[in-house]
Amino acid sequence: MRIDVLTLFPKMFEGFTSESLLGKAIDNKIVEINIINFRDYSTNKHHKVDDSPYGGGAGMVLSVEPVYNALISIDGYKKALKILVTPQGVTFSQEKAYELSNVEHIIILCGHYEGYDERIRDLFDLEISIGDYVLTGGEIAAMVLIDAITRLVPKVISKDESHLFDSFSNNLLEHPHYTRPSEFMGKKVPEVLISGNHKLIKEWRLKESIKRTKERRMDLYNKYRKESNDE
Ligand code: SAM
């Protein structure tokens, strides 16, 4: 998978692309991430990428030209899935992350300032928000997308199937986990988990998963019930 990121703050991606799972996936050539500073594509003498809004008002607007110039400089941009991050987009989800993990080439534009020149929107296929709050810029949103998507690409997680049981994968939150010691300050690990009986462990985990989802996310539980006919 290849992801090109258009940003005004390339340094923000340095630690992100060199550490942890993503760093390894890049080293192992499973994922390729290119960070492009679209300020370099401004034809303005001072490399300006923003301007004041027509009609007046507070804040600056991201200009269309540098974004367009940077976009068309990307190899294979026409076929790539072009995503714009914005609080006005569809809300990102695990389901969307699964869908996007099958895309070969993604381009993400990180916004800044008060907003995008509306004509930038026409250059992109999809608008995604990471939640109902407003960030200063799109970099953190792009990182959220990249992290959630790339961990689902085959071979990025060494135990490939482990994400199948993550929260949201089947409309349930994940079950509780325990590790050594078997007793801590009087709190014991549930007997069943040390029983060695895999069938019972599986049943316990599903039961706990359902219980936790019901307690914390009734909306998700209702979806689970509907889809699994567990009335
Ligand atoms: N005035 C804009 C609005 O109300 O829609 C918000 C602009 S925000 C200060 C600057 C940039 O941060 C946005 O263009 C977008 O790229 C990014 N951003 C902010 N909040 C976001 C969110 N919830 N999801 C995705 N991107 C976000």
From 10, 53, 87, 176, active-site residue:
87
Q: Which atom of ligand 1 is nearest to the CA of 128?
A: 25
Q: Are 136 and 37 contained in the same domain?
A: yes
Residues 169 and 75 in one domain: no
What are the residues facing 117 on neighbouring strands?
Answer: none
Per the domain annotation, does 200 fall within a domain?
A: yes
Q: What is the DSSP letter of 59?
A: S
Is residue 9 assigned to a domain? yes
The answer to whether the beta carbons of residues 31 and 22 sit under 8 Å apart is: yes
What single DSSP character describes residue 128?
E
Looking at the structure, tell me whether residues 145 and 200 fall in a common domain. no
> Has residue 148 got a pLDDT over 90?
yes
From the CA of 84, give the closest atom in ligand 1.
16
The verdict on residue 158 lying in a domain is no
CATH code, domain carrying 82? 3.40.1280.10
User: What does 181-209 look like in DSSP terms, one character per residue?
Assistant: -SEETTEEPPGGGGS--HHHHHHHHHHHH
Residue of 38, 134, 145 to mutate, ligand 1, most atoms within 8 A of C-beta: 134
Work out which ligand 1 atom sits closest to the CA atom of 88. 5
Residue 14 in tokens: 């340095």
Evaluate whether residue 222 is within a structural domain.
yes
Q: Are residues 127 and 214 in the same domain?
A: no
Whether 4 is catalytic: no
- Rounded CA-CA distance 83/97 in Å is 13
Contact 124, 83 (CB under 8 A): yes
Residue 230 pLDDT exceeds 70: no
Same domain, 181 and 110: no
Give the closest residue to 67 by CA, choosing from 113, 26, 101: 113
Q: Do 41 and 133 belong together in one domain? A: yes
Domain membership flag for residue 156: no
CATH of the domain at 212: 1.10.1270.20
Burial class (CB in 10 A: 0-12, 13-18, 19+), 145: buried
- For residue 190, indicate whether it is catalytic: no
**pLDDT band at 122, cuts 50/70/90?**
very high
Query: Which residues, other chains included, contact 123 with Cβ-Cβ below 8 Å and sequence gap of 6+?
Result: 64, 67, 68, 71, 82
* Tokens found for residue 211: 């219980």
Domain closes at, from 96, 123, 150: 150
- In tens, the pLDDT along 165-195 reads 788 889 999 999 999 999 999 999 999 999 9
Average pLDDT for the chain:
95
Residue span of the structural domain in which 179 resides: 165-228
Q: What is the pTM for the complete model shown?
A: 0.95
pLDDT in tens, 1-53: 999 999 999 999 999 999 999 999 999 999 999 999 999 999 999 999 999 99
In a domain, 155, yes or no: no
Domains in the chain, number: 2
For 35, 49, 68, 174, 217, the CA distances from 74, given in Å and listed in that order, are 11, 18, 10, 39, 41
Inter-residue contact 182 to 194 (CB < 8 Å): yes
Final residue of a structural domain among 117, 150, 183 = 150
Q: For ligand 1, atom 23, which residue shows the shortest CA distance?
A: 87
Q: Check whether residue 132 and residue 178 sit in a common domain.
A: no
- 205 in any annotated domain: yes
Quick check: helix, strand or coil at residue 211? helix
Out of 135, 136, 144, give the residue to mutate to test ligand 1, the one with the largest number of ligand atoms within 8 Å of its CB.
135
The question of whether 151 is a catalytic residue gets the answer yes
Please indicate, yes or no, whether residues 17 and 131 belong to a single structural domain of this protein.
yes
Q: Is the dihedral of CA 36, 47, 12, 166 positive or negative?
A: negative
Q: Is the pLDDT of residue 231 over 70?
A: no
The amino acid sitting at 19 is: E
* Binding-site residues, ligand 1, Cβ < 6 A: 85-88, 110-112, 114-116, 129-131, 133-138, 141
Residue 27 a catalytic site member: no
